[in-house]
Amino acid sequence: MTRGRIVAIGELIVEIMRTRVDSPLDRADEFIGPFPSGAPAIFADQAARLGHDVAYIGAVGDDDFGVCLTDRLAADGVDIRHVAQVEGVATGCAFVTYFSDGSRKFIFHIGNSAAGQLPQPTAEMLAGADWLHLCGSTLSASEAMRQACYQACELAVAAGARVAFDPNLRPELLGGEEALRRICAPVLEAASLVLPSATEAELLTGANSAQAACEALLSDGVQVVALKRGSDGCTVFSADETVTVPAYSVEAVDPTGAGDCFDAGFVVGLTEGLTLEQTGRLANACGALGATARGPMEGCAWRSDAFQLAGLGQPEGD
Protein backbone atom coordinates (compact mmCIF):
# COMPACT_ATOMS: atom_id res chain seq x y z
CA MET A 1 0.00 0.00 0.00
CA THR A 2 1.19 3.51 -0.88
CA ARG A 3 0.48 6.55 1.28
CA GLY A 4 1.86 9.34 -0.86
CA ARG A 5 2.26 12.99 0.03
CA ILE A 6 -0.76 15.18 -0.66
CA VAL A 7 -0.53 18.98 -0.83
CA ALA A 8 -3.58 21.25 -0.59
CA ILE A 9 -3.64 24.98 -1.28
CA GLY A 10 -6.28 27.57 -0.54
CA GLU A 11 -8.35 29.45 1.96
CA LEU A 12 -8.20 28.88 5.70
CA ILE A 13 -11.31 30.27 7.36
CA VAL A 14 -13.42 29.75 10.43
CA GLU A 15 -17.15 29.22 10.12
CA ILE A 16 -19.70 30.76 12.45
CA MET A 17 -23.23 29.38 12.11
CA ARG A 18 -26.73 30.10 13.28
CA THR A 19 -28.02 27.93 16.09
CA ARG A 20 -31.52 27.88 14.60
CA VAL A 21 -32.86 26.92 11.18
CA ASP A 22 -34.58 29.62 9.08
CA SER A 23 -32.78 32.45 10.85
CA PRO A 24 -31.70 34.94 8.15
CA LEU A 25 -28.35 36.67 8.35
CA ASP A 26 -29.86 40.14 8.16
CA ARG A 27 -31.47 39.77 11.60
CA ALA A 28 -30.01 39.62 15.11
CA ASP A 29 -29.88 36.05 16.40
CA GLU A 30 -27.51 33.57 18.00
CA PHE A 31 -24.42 32.01 16.40
CA ILE A 32 -22.09 29.20 17.43
CA GLY A 33 -18.47 28.73 16.46
CA PRO A 34 -15.80 29.32 15.40
CA PHE A 35 -15.38 26.02 13.55
CA PRO A 36 -12.25 25.35 11.45
CA SER A 37 -13.22 25.47 7.77
CA GLY A 38 -12.27 26.28 4.19
CA ALA A 39 -12.93 23.74 1.45
CA PRO A 40 -9.28 22.76 0.81
CA ALA A 41 -8.60 22.74 4.56
CA ILE A 42 -11.45 20.28 5.18
CA PHE A 43 -10.00 18.12 2.40
CA ALA A 44 -6.55 18.25 4.01
CA ASP A 45 -7.82 17.37 7.46
CA GLN A 46 -9.81 14.42 6.12
CA ALA A 47 -6.88 13.09 4.09
CA ALA A 48 -4.65 13.32 7.16
CA ARG A 49 -7.19 11.46 9.29
CA LEU A 50 -7.11 8.72 6.66
CA GLY A 51 -3.45 8.26 7.48
CA HIS A 52 -1.71 10.16 4.69
CA ASP A 53 1.16 12.63 4.62
CA VAL A 54 -0.59 15.96 3.99
CA ALA A 55 0.84 19.47 3.70
CA TYR A 56 -1.00 22.78 3.42
CA ILE A 57 -0.25 26.07 1.70
CA GLY A 58 -2.33 28.91 3.10
CA ALA A 59 -2.45 31.89 5.44
CA VAL A 60 -4.09 32.95 8.69
CA GLY A 61 -4.10 36.13 10.71
CA ASP A 62 -2.18 36.70 13.91
CA ASP A 63 -5.31 36.12 15.99
CA ASP A 64 -7.27 33.49 17.89
CA PHE A 65 -9.19 32.35 14.80
CA GLY A 66 -5.86 31.58 13.15
CA VAL A 67 -4.82 29.56 16.20
CA CYS A 68 -8.12 27.68 16.02
CA LEU A 69 -7.28 26.62 12.46
CA THR A 70 -3.61 25.79 12.80
CA ASP A 71 -4.08 23.91 16.07
CA ARG A 72 -6.76 21.70 14.52
CA LEU A 73 -4.80 20.89 11.38
CA ALA A 74 -1.59 20.21 13.29
CA ALA A 75 -3.41 18.00 15.82
CA ASP A 76 -4.69 15.82 12.97
CA GLY A 77 -1.24 15.52 11.41
CA VAL A 78 -1.30 18.14 8.65
CA ASP A 79 2.10 19.73 7.92
CA ILE A 80 1.48 23.46 8.42
CA ARG A 81 5.02 24.72 7.81
CA HIS A 82 3.76 26.57 4.71
CA VAL A 83 0.83 28.25 6.47
CA ALA A 84 1.82 31.90 6.78
CA GLN A 85 0.79 34.08 9.70
CA VAL A 86 -0.10 37.52 8.34
CA GLU A 87 0.21 40.42 10.75
CA GLY A 88 -2.36 43.21 10.71
CA VAL A 89 -4.98 41.24 8.76
CA ALA A 90 -7.74 39.14 10.30
CA THR A 91 -8.16 35.43 9.66
CA GLY A 92 -10.82 34.67 7.06
CA CYS A 93 -14.31 33.76 8.16
CA ALA A 94 -17.73 32.73 6.91
CA PHE A 95 -21.15 33.20 8.46
CA VAL A 96 -23.78 30.64 7.50
CA THR A 97 -27.44 29.94 8.12
CA TYR A 98 -29.54 26.92 7.18
CA PHE A 99 -33.12 26.83 5.96
CA SER A 100 -35.78 24.15 6.34
CA ASP A 101 -35.82 23.51 2.58
CA GLY A 102 -32.20 22.33 2.82
CA SER A 103 -30.64 25.49 1.37
CA ARG A 104 -27.86 27.54 2.96
CA LYS A 105 -26.75 31.15 2.79
CA PHE A 106 -23.20 32.33 3.41
CA ILE A 107 -21.40 35.62 3.97
CA PHE A 108 -17.71 35.09 3.18
CA HIS A 109 -14.67 37.16 4.11
CA ILE A 110 -11.86 35.47 2.18
CA GLY A 111 -10.12 37.58 -0.45
CA ASN A 112 -9.97 40.61 1.85
CA SER A 113 -8.65 38.61 4.80
CA ALA A 114 -5.44 36.78 5.64
CA ALA A 115 -6.86 33.80 3.71
CA GLY A 116 -6.47 35.86 0.55
CA GLN A 117 -2.72 36.30 1.07
CA LEU A 118 -1.57 32.85 0.03
CA PRO A 119 2.19 32.33 0.10
CA GLN A 120 3.74 32.19 -3.34
CA PRO A 121 4.11 28.46 -4.09
CA THR A 122 7.66 27.22 -4.60
CA ALA A 123 9.19 24.01 -5.89
CA GLU A 124 10.22 23.19 -2.32
CA MET A 125 6.59 23.28 -1.17
CA LEU A 126 5.64 20.71 -3.83
CA ALA A 127 8.72 18.53 -3.43
CA GLY A 128 7.82 14.87 -3.12
CA ALA A 129 4.11 15.49 -3.72
CA ASP A 130 2.01 12.80 -5.36
CA TRP A 131 -1.08 15.02 -5.47
CA LEU A 132 -1.96 18.71 -5.43
CA HIS A 133 -5.56 19.45 -4.52
CA LEU A 134 -7.29 22.76 -5.10
CA CYS A 135 -10.83 24.10 -5.20
CA GLY A 136 -12.90 26.49 -7.24
CA SER A 137 -13.69 28.43 -4.08
CA THR A 138 -10.04 29.51 -4.02
CA LEU A 139 -10.06 30.48 -7.69
CA SER A 140 -13.15 32.62 -7.17
CA ALA A 141 -11.90 34.53 -4.13
CA SER A 142 -9.38 36.90 -5.74
CA GLU A 143 -6.98 37.33 -8.64
CA ALA A 144 -3.99 36.88 -6.35
CA MET A 145 -5.33 33.56 -5.10
CA ARG A 146 -5.96 32.41 -8.67
CA GLN A 147 -2.42 33.18 -9.69
CA ALA A 148 -1.06 31.29 -6.68
CA CYS A 149 -3.14 28.27 -7.68
CA TYR A 150 -1.95 28.46 -11.29
CA GLN A 151 1.65 28.59 -10.10
CA ALA A 152 1.08 25.61 -7.81
CA CYS A 153 -0.37 23.63 -10.72
CA GLU A 154 2.65 24.36 -12.89
CA LEU A 155 5.04 23.33 -10.13
CA ALA A 156 3.05 20.18 -9.36
CA VAL A 157 3.07 19.03 -12.97
CA ALA A 158 6.78 19.78 -13.25
CA ALA A 159 7.38 17.68 -10.14
CA GLY A 160 5.39 14.76 -11.54
CA ALA A 161 2.45 15.17 -9.16
CA ARG A 162 -1.16 14.67 -10.17
CA VAL A 163 -3.66 17.52 -9.79
CA ALA A 164 -7.12 17.04 -8.28
CA PHE A 165 -9.70 19.78 -8.80
CA ASP A 166 -13.07 20.32 -7.13
CA PRO A 167 -14.77 23.02 -9.24
CA ASN A 168 -17.12 24.37 -6.56
CA LEU A 169 -17.71 27.65 -8.38
CA ARG A 170 -20.68 29.95 -8.80
CA PRO A 171 -20.76 31.65 -12.20
CA GLU A 172 -22.71 34.61 -10.84
CA LEU A 173 -19.69 35.49 -8.69
CA LEU A 174 -17.33 35.45 -11.65
CA GLY A 175 -19.24 37.25 -14.39
CA GLY A 176 -21.00 34.28 -15.97
CA GLU A 177 -20.24 30.90 -17.48
CA GLU A 178 -17.61 32.07 -19.97
CA ALA A 179 -15.61 33.75 -17.21
CA LEU A 180 -15.90 30.61 -15.12
CA ARG A 181 -14.49 28.44 -17.91
CA ARG A 182 -11.68 30.88 -18.60
CA ILE A 183 -10.68 30.97 -14.93
CA CYS A 184 -10.79 27.18 -14.58
CA ALA A 185 -9.00 26.44 -17.86
CA PRO A 186 -5.39 26.51 -16.54
CA VAL A 187 -6.33 24.12 -13.73
CA LEU A 188 -8.33 21.78 -15.96
CA GLU A 189 -5.39 21.56 -18.36
CA ALA A 190 -3.27 20.23 -15.49
CA ALA A 191 -5.93 18.10 -13.76
CA SER A 192 -5.82 14.31 -13.66
CA LEU A 193 -8.90 14.12 -11.42
CA VAL A 194 -11.99 16.35 -11.44
CA LEU A 195 -14.68 16.02 -8.76
CA PRO A 196 -17.76 18.00 -9.86
CA SER A 197 -21.48 17.98 -9.25
CA ALA A 198 -23.68 17.56 -12.31
CA THR A 199 -24.30 21.31 -12.54
CA GLU A 200 -20.60 22.09 -12.23
CA ALA A 201 -19.64 19.56 -14.90
CA GLU A 202 -22.15 21.06 -17.32
CA LEU A 203 -21.02 24.61 -16.53
CA LEU A 204 -17.38 23.70 -17.12
CA THR A 205 -18.00 22.08 -20.50
CA GLY A 206 -21.19 23.62 -21.88
CA ALA A 207 -22.63 20.11 -22.29
CA ASN A 208 -26.36 19.57 -21.85
CA SER A 209 -26.12 16.51 -19.57
CA ALA A 210 -23.89 15.36 -16.75
CA GLN A 211 -22.74 12.28 -18.65
CA ALA A 212 -21.87 14.26 -21.75
CA ALA A 213 -20.01 16.77 -19.59
CA CYS A 214 -17.96 14.07 -17.88
CA GLU A 215 -17.14 12.47 -21.21
CA ALA A 216 -16.07 15.88 -22.53
CA LEU A 217 -13.71 16.32 -19.58
CA LEU A 218 -12.16 12.92 -20.32
CA SER A 219 -11.72 13.81 -23.97
CA ASP A 220 -9.88 16.98 -22.90
CA GLY A 221 -7.29 14.97 -21.00
CA VAL A 222 -8.72 14.41 -17.51
CA GLN A 223 -8.04 10.81 -16.47
CA VAL A 224 -10.84 10.33 -13.93
CA VAL A 225 -14.05 12.25 -13.28
CA ALA A 226 -15.85 11.53 -10.01
CA LEU A 227 -19.38 12.89 -10.41
CA LYS A 228 -20.94 13.70 -7.03
CA ARG A 229 -24.63 12.81 -6.95
CA GLY A 230 -25.57 13.53 -3.34
CA SER A 231 -27.97 10.97 -1.91
CA ASP A 232 -27.55 8.92 -5.10
CA GLY A 233 -23.84 8.40 -4.44
CA CYS A 234 -21.36 8.98 -7.24
CA THR A 235 -20.58 7.91 -10.79
CA VAL A 236 -16.95 7.51 -11.73
CA PHE A 237 -15.82 7.95 -15.33
CA SER A 238 -12.51 6.92 -16.87
CA ALA A 239 -11.39 6.01 -20.37
CA ASP A 240 -11.84 2.31 -19.53
CA GLU A 241 -14.98 2.15 -17.40
CA THR A 242 -17.94 3.91 -15.85
CA VAL A 243 -18.90 2.86 -12.33
CA THR A 244 -21.91 3.97 -10.29
CA VAL A 245 -21.50 3.62 -6.52
CA PRO A 246 -24.51 4.05 -4.17
CA ALA A 247 -24.46 6.38 -1.19
CA TYR A 248 -24.51 5.37 2.47
CA SER A 249 -27.48 6.28 4.63
CA VAL A 250 -26.59 8.39 7.67
CA GLU A 251 -28.35 10.94 9.86
CA ALA A 252 -27.20 14.19 8.29
CA VAL A 253 -26.54 17.01 10.76
CA ASP A 254 -24.49 19.49 8.71
CA PRO A 255 -23.79 19.00 4.98
CA THR A 256 -21.09 21.67 4.78
CA GLY A 257 -17.76 20.04 4.04
CA ALA A 258 -19.16 16.63 3.07
CA GLY A 259 -18.09 17.12 -0.54
CA ASP A 260 -14.56 17.99 0.56
CA CYS A 261 -14.43 14.84 2.69
CA PHE A 262 -15.57 12.91 -0.41
CA ASP A 263 -12.71 14.47 -2.37
CA ALA A 264 -10.17 13.35 0.23
CA GLY A 265 -11.51 9.81 0.25
CA PHE A 266 -11.27 9.66 -3.51
CA VAL A 267 -7.70 10.94 -3.69
CA VAL A 268 -6.68 8.54 -0.92
CA GLY A 269 -8.34 5.61 -2.69
CA LEU A 270 -6.50 6.34 -5.92
CA THR A 271 -3.22 6.81 -4.06
CA GLU A 272 -3.59 3.45 -2.34
CA GLY A 273 -4.32 1.65 -5.59
CA LEU A 274 -7.96 0.79 -4.91
CA THR A 275 -10.21 0.05 -7.86
CA LEU A 276 -12.50 2.84 -9.04
CA GLU A 277 -15.45 1.09 -7.43
CA GLN A 278 -13.62 0.72 -4.11
CA THR A 279 -12.41 4.31 -4.33
CA GLY A 280 -15.99 5.47 -4.87
CA ARG A 281 -17.09 3.53 -1.81
CA LEU A 282 -14.38 5.11 0.34
CA ALA A 283 -15.21 8.58 -0.96
CA ASN A 284 -18.94 8.06 -0.35
CA ALA A 285 -18.21 6.84 3.17
CA CYS A 286 -16.10 9.92 3.94
CA GLY A 287 -18.75 12.21 2.48
CA ALA A 288 -21.52 10.54 4.47
CA LEU A 289 -19.62 10.63 7.76
CA GLY A 290 -18.63 14.22 7.08
CA ALA A 291 -22.29 15.26 7.31
CA THR A 292 -22.91 13.63 10.70
CA ALA A 293 -21.48 16.36 12.95
CA ARG A 294 -22.12 20.05 13.34
CA GLY A 295 -19.24 22.04 11.93
CA PRO A 296 -17.68 21.62 8.46
CA MET A 297 -14.55 19.82 9.67
CA GLU A 298 -16.02 18.04 12.68
CA GLY A 299 -17.30 15.05 10.72
CA CYS A 300 -13.94 14.20 9.13
CA ALA A 301 -13.70 10.44 9.54
CA TRP A 302 -10.86 8.50 11.05
CA ARG A 303 -9.37 5.81 8.84
CA SER A 304 -10.89 2.80 10.58
CA ASP A 305 -14.41 4.30 10.57
CA ALA A 306 -14.29 5.26 6.90
CA PHE A 307 -12.93 1.90 5.75
CA GLN A 308 -15.45 0.04 7.88
CA LEU A 309 -18.43 1.93 6.45
CA ALA A 310 -17.06 1.44 2.93
CA GLY A 311 -16.84 -2.30 3.52
CA LEU A 312 -13.14 -2.36 2.75
CA GLY A 313 -12.06 -4.41 5.76
CA GLN A 314 -9.51 -3.51 8.38
CA PRO A 315 -7.17 -0.97 6.77
CA GLU A 316 -3.43 -1.31 7.10
CA GLY A 317 -1.85 0.97 9.66
CA ASP A 318 -4.62 0.93 12.27
Decide if 72 contacts 41 (C-beta within 8 A): no
> Which tens digit of pLDDT belongs to each residue from 130-177?
999 999 999 988 999 999 999 999 999 999 999 999 998 765 456 677
Helix, strand or coil, per DSSP, at residue 214: helix
Query: For all residues of the chain together, what is the average pLDDT?
Result: 93
Predicted pLDDT of residue 318:
53
> Which tens digit of pLDDT belongs to each residue from 30-45?
999 999 999 999 999 9
Nearest to 139 by CA among 183, 192, 95, 74: 183
d(CA 148, CA 131): 16
Q: Is the pLDDT of residue 314 over 70?
A: no
Indicate the DSSP class of residue 53: E
Predicted pLDDT of residue 38:
95
Decide if 229 contacts 235 (C-beta within 8 A): yes
Predicted pLDDT of residue 179:
83
Decide if 306 contacts 50 (C-beta within 8 A): yes
Residues 125-134 have a mean pLDDT of 96
d(CA 31, CA 46): 25
> Which tens digit of pLDDT belongs to each residue from 295-312?
999 999 999 999 999 999
Count of residues making up the chain: 318
Predicted pLDDT of residue 316:
59
> Which tens digit of pLDDT belongs to each residue from 166-219?
998 765 456 677 888 899 999 999 999 999 999 999 999 999 999 999 999 999
Annotated catalytic residue 260:
yes
- pLDDT confidence of 4, banded at 50, 70, 90? confident
Amino acid of residue 227: L
Strands 224-228 and 234-238, how do they pair? Answer: antiparallel
Domains and CATH numbers, the chain: 5-309 (3.40.1190.20)
Q: State percent of the chain over pLDDT 90.
A: 85
> Which tens digit of pLDDT belongs to each residue from 15-29?
999 999 999 999 999
> Which tens digit of pLDDT belongs to each residue from 73-91?
999 999 999 999 999 999 9
Looking at 145-159, 174-188, 233-247, 254-268, which range is the least confident one?
174-188
Q: Is the pLDDT of residue 1 over 80?
A: no
Q: Which residue out of 64, 260, 263, 305 is catalytically annotated?
A: 260
